[in-house]
Amino acid sequence: MIRKIGRNDPCWCGSGKKYKNCHQAMEDRILTYRRAGHVVPSRRLIKSGRDIQGIKDSAKINIAVLDEVGKRICAGMSTLEIDEIVNEVTYGMGGIPADLGYEGFPKSVCTSINNEVCHGIPSKDIILKDGDIINVDCSTILNNYWSDSSRMFMIGKVSEERERLVRVTKECVEIGIQNVKPWTFLGDMGHAVHQHALDNGYSVVREIGGHGCGNAFHEDPFVSYVSTPGTEMLMVPGMVFTIEPMVNAGTDELTFDKENGWTVYTADGKDSAQWEVEVLVTDTGCEVLCW
């Protein structure tokens, strides 16, 4: 049973303010969009001040992990050594690697090289070579708050084509960030991301995308980067989600590793890149919580 909050009751978010002086105006505004037929966030997806602080604390670990990986990653290193860095920094700062054991995932981080789109599994047998590009996708739990971000690393001297794919994919995320504005739609943002990839001759993965994040690893909404302006969920201050397009040099079609049950590859064997940030929608745009 859900009891309707009275205007003079304390707000559900725990601010201590009366509902009428806190979230009521925003929720009334959301209702007008819902009545007009739009997909809108439920209250569950709007983070309280306390949630936001918790996610930021978790995000500090995620950022520190990727900073440390960036310092140490090099040719000749195995991807298992990246997993070890993730464990060392995450546990050292009091966090838990969110990937470990997630739906049975066997390691603490995803390491996806060249034609691997995502969910590469660290292994002592996978050795980084000069010219490789690799995505390191890291997620942290701290005090039951989740953070999630990923970066590309270029190993040694990388071809011009690979360098361009990595750079344009990063630009896609930057364009996504610029297009997170309250009271516009996720489809507006996703379309802008897609357009930049298309303008550069690339495709964007459809089946796998971003997600709400913070009070759990994967929350609603699904965040597509192949979407139509004016569609998908309304963005509202207090929502937290990831922007993480997977950009392919060739086809957007995928194949899935049947042996390990996890790794996703491009169907044509061409390269794929991904950067991921976690953002908080604010009154004026967004704040990047981790990258």
List interacting residues with ligand MF3 (CB under 6 A). 99, 102-103, 105, 110, 119, 137, 139, 148, 244, 276
**Is the CB of 146 or the CB of 202 nearer to Co ion?**
146
Whether the CB-CB separation of 70 and 151 falls below 8 Å is answered with: yes
Shortest distance, position 129 Cβ to ligand MF3, whole Å:
23
Alpha helices in 24-106 (DSSP H): 24-35, 49-72, 79-92
238 Ramachandran zone, left/alpha/beta (phi>0; psi -120 to 50): left
Q: Which is nearer to ligand MF3, 191 or 211 (CB)?
A: 211
Contact partner at residue 112 from Co ion, ligand MF3, none, CB < 5 to 8 Å by partner kind: none
Does 219 engage in binding with Co ion (CB under 5 A)? no
Nearer of residues 13 and 244 to ligand MF3, judged by Cβ: 244
**Residues 227, 242, 266, 274: which binds Co ion (CB under 5 A)?**
242
Pick 11 or 122: Cβ nearer Co ion: 122
Binding of residue 116 to Co ion (CB under 5 A): no
> End-to-end alpha-carbon separation of the chain, Å?
39
Enumerate the β-bridge partners of residue 142. Answer: 145
What is the rounded distance in angstroms from the CA atom of residue 211 to the CA atom of residue 136? 18
Identity of residue 212:
G
Question: Of 194 and 211, which has the nearer Cβ to ligand MF3?
Answer: 211
Report the nearest approach of Co ion to the CB of residue 54 (Å). 18
CA 53 to chain centre: 18
Cβ atoms of 57 and 136 within 8 Å: the answer is no
Size of the site for Co ion (CB under 5 A): 2
16: Cα separation from own chain's centroid: 31
Supply the DSSP symbol for 259.
Answer: T
How would you list the strands of the sheet with 254-256, edge to edge? 116-118, 264-266, 254-256
CB of residue 266 to ligand MF3, shortest distance in Å: 17
What does R_g of the chain's alpha carbons equal in angstroms? 20
Nearer residue to ligand MF3 within complex by CB, 54 or 245 = 245
Two structure tokens written together for 115: 């034609």
Q: Cβ of residue 207: shortest distance to ligand MF3, in angstroms?
A: 13
Residue 148 binds to Co ion (criterion: CB under 5 A): yes
Minimum separation from the CB atom of position 97 to ligand MF3 (A): 9
> Which one of 51-59, 65-73, 115-123, 239-247 is the stretch in contact with Co ion (CB under 5 A)?
239-247
140 binds Co ion (CB under 5 A): no
User: How is residue 129 written in tokens?
Assistant: 């070579």
For ligand MF3, give the closer residue by CB, 116 or 148: 148
State the minimum distance, in angstroms, from the CB of residue 142 to Co ion.
Answer: 16
Name 57's Cβ contacts closer than 8 Å, sequence gap at least 6.
142, 143, 145
Residues near Co ion (CB under 5 A): 148, 242
